[in-house]
């Protein structure tokens, strides 16, 4: 159940190469650690997650998956990077986290096996790494129960996002390895909204994520020119 044509092997390899540093808060994954409390709180402001079944798509080393499980959800983390999954499993074992399983699977194949199984789907910082995000969004819609929630985050596509997310983050501030993001794969909020709507998901909340490189602080607020979060709900 683990392979899909809707995956870019070079992208998966990129994350595999770095996987051993996933839980190092001063590594390439520092931004994911820094934004994690923010996104966890944002998800929980829409839906109480205690006891809920959640699938985290493109979970990587498990930063979000683990925090969801520690909050009391029953979490499935899926990814196609075996190395990232190995790190995720080991970390969960060491931290003795309950209610967490990791599977090597694409969203599309899990959706075939577990349609309408999950109360919540999270797909964060992942859509900009796949060849056809519409298939992943459709799989999210299939995985979630009627009335359930889908939370996505990705990067907008415009001059400002190019300057901030690629030039700034990869070349000036060296926050991310060069080549982490590809401009052509960025997705505008209206493109993502239209993919979601075609899949049967309705938008509930769209919010920007902002970063101040001087204070190193992240926050959510209006303005979706660069990073943004989208909360969606499947109709009952
Ligand atoms: N969602 C995590 C990790 C983001 S990094 C977080 O925000 O903390 C992007 C992850 O997506 C990587 O682990 C990469 O291996 C995974 N990925 C890329 N393409 C994928 C695909 N087609 N299917 C599943 N996972 C994929």
DSSP per-residue letters across 163-190: IIIIIIIIIIS--S-TTS--GGG---HH
Give the CATH fold of the 9-234 domain.
Rossmann fold (3.40.50)
Mean pLDDT of 81-86: 98
Mean pLDDT of 65-86: 98
If you search the block for the tokens 């959510």, which residue do you land on? 220
Q: Provide the percentage of residues in the chain whose pLDDT is more than 90.
A: 98
Closest CA to ligand 1's atom 9: 126
Task: Give distance in angstroms: CA of 59 to centre of ligand 1.
Answer: 6
Q: From CA 7, how far away is CA 1, in angstroms rounded?
A: 14
pLDDT at 1: 40
Radius of gyration of the chain (CA): 16
Q: 32 CB under 6 A from ligand 1?
A: yes
Chain centre to alpha carbon of residue 80: 13
Residue 94 — φ and ψ, nearest 5°?
-65, -40
Residue whose CB lies within 8 A of the most ligand 1 atoms, among 129, 131, 134, 227, for a mutation test: 129
Write the pLDDT tens digit of every residue in 52-71: 999 999 999 999 999 999 99
Write the pLDDT tens digit of every residue in 91-124: 999 999 999 999 999 999 999 999 999 999 999 9
Residue 191 clears pLDDT 90, i.e. is over it: yes
Q: Which of 204, 202, 205 is nearest to 194 (CA)?
A: 202
Q: From CA 72, how far away is CA 53, in angstroms rounded?
A: 10
Q: From CA 195, how far away is CA 211, in angstroms rounded?
A: 27
Confidence of residue 4 (pLDDT cuts 50, 70, 90): low
Residue 47 clears pLDDT 60, i.e. is over it: yes
pLDDT at 129: 97
* Domain residue ranges in the chain: 9-234
Q: 129 CB under 6 A from ligand 1?
A: yes
Q: 152 CB under 6 A from ligand 1?
A: no
DSSP-assigned letter for residue 60: T
Q: Provide the percentage of residues in the chain whose pLDDT is more than 70.
A: 98
Task: Give distance in angstroms: CA of 214 to centre of ligand 1.
Answer: 28
Q: From CA 173, how far away is CA 155, in angstroms rounded?
A: 18
Write the pLDDT tens digit of every residue in 130-164: 999 999 999 999 999 999 999 999 999 999 999 99
Mean pLDDT of the chain: 96
Q: From CA 144, how far away is CA 70, in angstroms rounded?
A: 21
pLDDT at 70: 98
Q: What angle do CA 124, 165, 15 make, to 5 degrees?
A: 50
């Amino acid at each position: 159940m683990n392979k899909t044509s809707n995956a870019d092997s070079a992208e998966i390899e990129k994350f595999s190469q770095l996987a051993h540093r996933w839980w190092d808060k001063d590594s390439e994954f520092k931004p994911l650690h820094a934004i994690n409390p923010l996104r966890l709180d944002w998800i929980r402001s829409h839906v109480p997650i205690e006891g809920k079944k959640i699938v985290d798509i493109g979970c990587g080393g498990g930063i979000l998956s683990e925090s969801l499980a520690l909050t009391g959800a029953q979490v499935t983390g899926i990814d196609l990077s075996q190395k990232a999954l190995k790190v995720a499993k080991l970390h969960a074992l060491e931290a003795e986290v309950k209610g967490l399983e990791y599977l090597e699977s694409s969203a599309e194949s899990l959706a075939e096996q577990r349609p309408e199984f999950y109360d919540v789907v999270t797909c964060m910082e992942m859509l900009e790494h796949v060849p056809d995000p519409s298939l992943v969004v459709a799989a999210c819609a299939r995985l979630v129960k009627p009335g359930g929630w889908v939370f996505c985050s990705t990067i907008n596509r415009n001059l400002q996002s190019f300057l901030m997310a690629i030039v700034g983050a990869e070349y000036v501030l060296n926050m991310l390895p060069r080549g982490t993001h590809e401009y052509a794969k960025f997705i505008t909020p209206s493109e993502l909204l239209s993919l979601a709507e075609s899949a049967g998901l309705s938008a509930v909340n769209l919010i920007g994520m902002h970063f101040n490189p001087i204070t190193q602080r992240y926050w959510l607020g209006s303005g979706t020119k660069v990073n943004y979060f989208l909360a969606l709900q499947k109709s009952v």
